Every structure is written in structure tokens, then in C-alpha cells.
Amino acid sequence: MTAVPTRSARTIGLAGTGVIGAGWAVRVLARGHDVIAWDPADGAESRLREAVERAWPSATRLGLFPGADPDRLGWADSAEEMAAASDWVQESAPEAESVKLPLLRRLAAAAAPDTVIASSSSGLLPSRLADGCRHSERIIIGHPFNPVYLLPLVEVVPGDATSPAVVDAAVAHYHDLVMHPLVVRNEIEGYLSDRLQEALWREVLHLVNDGVATTAELDDAITYGPGLRWAAMGTNLTFHLAGGEGGMGHMLRQFGPALKLPWTHLEAPELTPELVAAMESGCEAQAAGRSIAELEQLRDDCLLSVMRALRPSDIGAGRLVAEREARILEAGVTDEPWTPGAHVAAPLELYSTVVEPDWVDYNGHMTEAAFLTAFGWASDMLFRYLGIDEDYRAAGHSYYTAETHINYLREASLGEPLRVTTQVLGSDAKRLHIFHAMYRGHSDELLCTTEQMLLHVNTEAGRAVPALAGPAAAVAAITAAHAPMAAPPQAGRRMSIPAG
């Protein structure tokens, strides 16, 4: 079995469409793949489509790949029909062996022999789930975290029968969905993350049961303190810093004796009616009348803000946000790099996007700087078309912007589609004079324009030099192809107030 492809669209089958299954649907659709889903519950299809519609704005804010479309969600009449039509099957049935085992056997009997079948189980052993399945070597755990369409962690847990090639395929599959596949090397109930969460959860129940704190106070104890650290560094690296220059060794020598103190409980308390009532009333008070849908939207907004805040540091989920943006940009390249004799469109149309969440101000409109950011991505697409890629820049050559004139014509709002055309107004060995025009979606409604003079620079020497042969030939060909075009009315303008 070979690793899954990462560029071409695939069909992902989903068995079970509750909270987790619906989250998988949104994540896969946002990646630009097809989904075929099945669930035996009455009304499951309509509930799934409603869930996708609710979550789509959050998925859009995280970033959509080319081809991403909720209409690519299909429905099967049986588990067998879904499995037979899928390149990958993700099972998200209720967390019970009595439900999962017979379902996985049905899926394995209907799916092609090389189709991986992953279970979203949060703690069951994959070796037990694979028992009796046809081609049991392709059964594996892919345990996600809610909301699946935003949180990138997925625990990949192989069983005794799982082949190494399937583990590799699972890592490739989840990486294709821009997730962080964490391979659990030892098959263990509860895996890794849920065991850590379970320890905290047990202590929460004890503290409420003993009347020490309310649910709101305990949540505050996390959100205002360690939770902020965990998003970037987790527990171990955080405690490593707590040891100062001595690191984890000093921390354990200094604070380790406290582990012998009876601060915490290992076993959960009995879930008495009184404890259940205290947990329910506490959480209802925290919700303050807000619906589950409202709280889900608040959670998504906060998660997106935290993940995007981590992006410049290239750490944790922020690293995957940056990777997602880069891969979306790469996937949006519709034109191959210029080659001698190739037809050159006039103007070029190399970049399209949607208005990103961090591109808007408090009015919900795209900021001045964001227009320039979008034009910067359009220039990057032009560079790639010219043959200027990472290798070219690594060798010490690139175009730098020397001058920019920008004209703002109309507003653009969050999530609106944008497309940019590019016209080369002139060039020589060292200079490239370009004009970008931004339109609303596929319409001819002009939103903004920018005229730029670029210099080809030797980055090591810090001075302008002629472009290398490949990009130079591409620039000359595009300049010639665009020469018959009329100059845009905004080009060459200068700002002034006529004398009265």
C-alpha cells in the first residue's frame, strides 16, 4: 500500500455523522475533497447538511482549498455503498465495541482491499476493533478532537494486525488534511491526550463534589493560567521553564517532593445525583442563557484567534495555520510556470482568494494594509509563473518592491471572494513594472488597483542586478504579450490638489 496523494481530489467515506462525523465532513470538504456519508439514524442527512452549513464560516476563516464546496457532500443509502465508493473510510459511530465491531466488519467486507478504514474511537483498542475484519491489516485508529474542522491533532493508533504501510498512509492522509498526526507507538486504552484530559477531569469532579470550587472557578483556573501556556508548549516544556536555568532537573528536585503530598485524587468520585446536579447547574450558570450553537461559535472564534496568534511564532497549531495558508496558495496555482513558446494570457489571472478574518477591521471591512497583503500574494503568484520559487530565492535572487501606488475603490467584507489580474506595463534587465487589479469574485466589479515598480536584487550583495536567464526570458515574453494592451487609467497617476 502506498501513501495517499496530496494534490488530487479524493472521495472520503464517513460512517456516522454525529458531532465528530460532521466535523470530519467539514474538514474534508474544506480541503477540496469529496465526501460520501452514511448514518442509519432517521433525519441524519439533513442534520449533517445543517451542521456543515453552521460550521462552514469557521472553516472559511481557517482557509479553504481550491474546490472546497459543501455541495461536494454526497449521501449513501447503506454502509456498504459508502465503503465501496470511498478512497478512505472514517468510522465515527458511538463509542461502544458492540456498535463499532459489527459496523467495521461490514465496512471491511465492502471496501476495496487497499482502502484504509480508520476509527474515530477515543479509547478503544484497535486490535479488538480489527477482530474479524476482512484485511484487518488496514484497520487503524484516527482519533480527532472536537471541533475536528479546526483542531489539528489526530492520534494515529495501530493495532497488532495493522501494517506499517497503513500507518504511513494514515500519516500522509491526515497530513493532507493539514492535521498533526501523532502516532501512538504503544497500543493503550485511552491513547495519550484523553488520558491527560481524564486526569484533570477526575480532579474537577472531586473539587466540585467536595464543595471546594464551582465549575466556573475551575475553568477560570485553566483559561487565565496554564491553558494559555499549554497552547504553545504543553505541560513538560512549561515545567522545564519552571526550573529556571536548571531546567526540568532543577524543577523536579525542587518541586518533586510535593508529588508525595495528598493534593489530588486518582480515582473519580461517585457520580451521585447531587454531583451531577452541581455540574449541570454550574455549567448552565456559565452558559448564561447562551445556546449550544452560540457557545460553539464563541469557541470557534476563540480557537481561531489563538491559532492565528501562534502563527508568527511557528509553534503548535500556529505552525499548521501557516502551513495551511502556504498549501492553499500552492494548490491555487492554476498556471504552470512559463515555458518558451507558451501562450501568455493578457492580462494574467494567477491569484484568487477570499477576504481573511485578520484582513478586516472592526467594521468588518478589508483594511488598507490587507489590500496590499493580497496584492503581495498576487505578486508571489507572478514570481512563481516567472520561475522564481523557493530554490531561486535560496540562491540569493528575488524581486523587491521599490515603489507602490494603490487606489481603493470599493469595500470588501469578510469571506467575500476576490480575484486579481496582473498586467506587465514594462520591464528591463533589472526592473519590472506591473499593475494588479482586484475584482469581486467572478464579476467585473473593480475593488482596488495597485501599480508597482520591482527591482531584481542579489540579496547577498544587497543591490539590483539583472534577472537570471529563465525569469528574464519569461519577463520579456510577458512584456511583449502585454504591450498591445491599453494602459489602465489608474497607471501613472500622481497625487495632487490642483491650484484653485
**Whether pLDDT at 1 is above 70:** no
What is the location of CATH 3.10.129.10 in the chain?
A: 334-482
For residue 329, the model assigns a pLDDT of 75
**Whether pLDDT at 432 is above 90:** yes
Query: pLDDT digits over 291-303, tens only?
Result: 888 888 888 888 8
Q: Which CATH number fits domain 194-289: 3.40.30.10, 3.40.190.10, 3.40.50.12160, 1.10.1040.10?
A: 1.10.1040.10
Measured CA to CA, the distance from residue 38 to residue 437 in angstroms comes to: 44
pTM of the model: 0.79
Residue type, 408: Y
Measured CA to CA, the distance from residue 357 to residue 412 in angstroms comes to: 12
Mean pLDDT, residues 111-131? 97
Are the CB atoms for 54 and 94 separated by under 8 Å?
no
What is the location of CATH 3.40.50.720 in the chain?
A: 11-191
Name the pLDDT band for 4 (thresholds 50, 70, 90): very low
Across 382-490, where does the E strand assignment appear? 397-408, 417-427, 431-440, 446-458, 463-464
Query: pLDDT digits over 142-167, tens only?
Result: 999 999 999 999 999 999 999 999 99
Measured CA to CA, the distance from residue 311 to residue 322 in angstroms comes to: 6
**Whether pLDDT at 451 is above 60:** yes
Assign domain 11-191 to its CATH superfamily.
NAD(P)-binding Rossmann-like Domain (3.40.50.720)
What is the location of CATH 1.10.1040.10 in the chain?
A: 194-289
Mean pLDDT, residues 452-474? 95
Mean pLDDT, residues 188-216? 94
Q: 396 — alpha (psi -120 to 50), left (phi > 0) or beta? A: left
Residue 72 burial (CB count, 10 A): 17
Match 483556573 to its residue by C-alpha cell: 221
For residue 334, the model assigns a pLDDT of 65
Q: Which CATH architecture has domain 334-482?
A: Roll (3.10)
Query: pLDDT digits over 22-77, tens only?
Result: 999 999 999 999 999 999 999 999 999 999 999 998 998 888 898 899 999 999 99
DSSP string of 329-386?
A: HHHT--SPPP-TT----SSEEEEEEE--GGGB-TTSBB-HHHHHHHHHHHHHHHHHHH
Q: What percent of the chain has pLDDT over 90?
A: 67
What's the helix, strand, coil split of the chain in %, to 5? Answer: 45, 20, 35
Residue type, 391: D
Measured CA to CA, the distance from residue 48 to residue 22 in angstroms comes to: 6
Looking at every residue in the chain, the average pLDDT score rounds to: 92
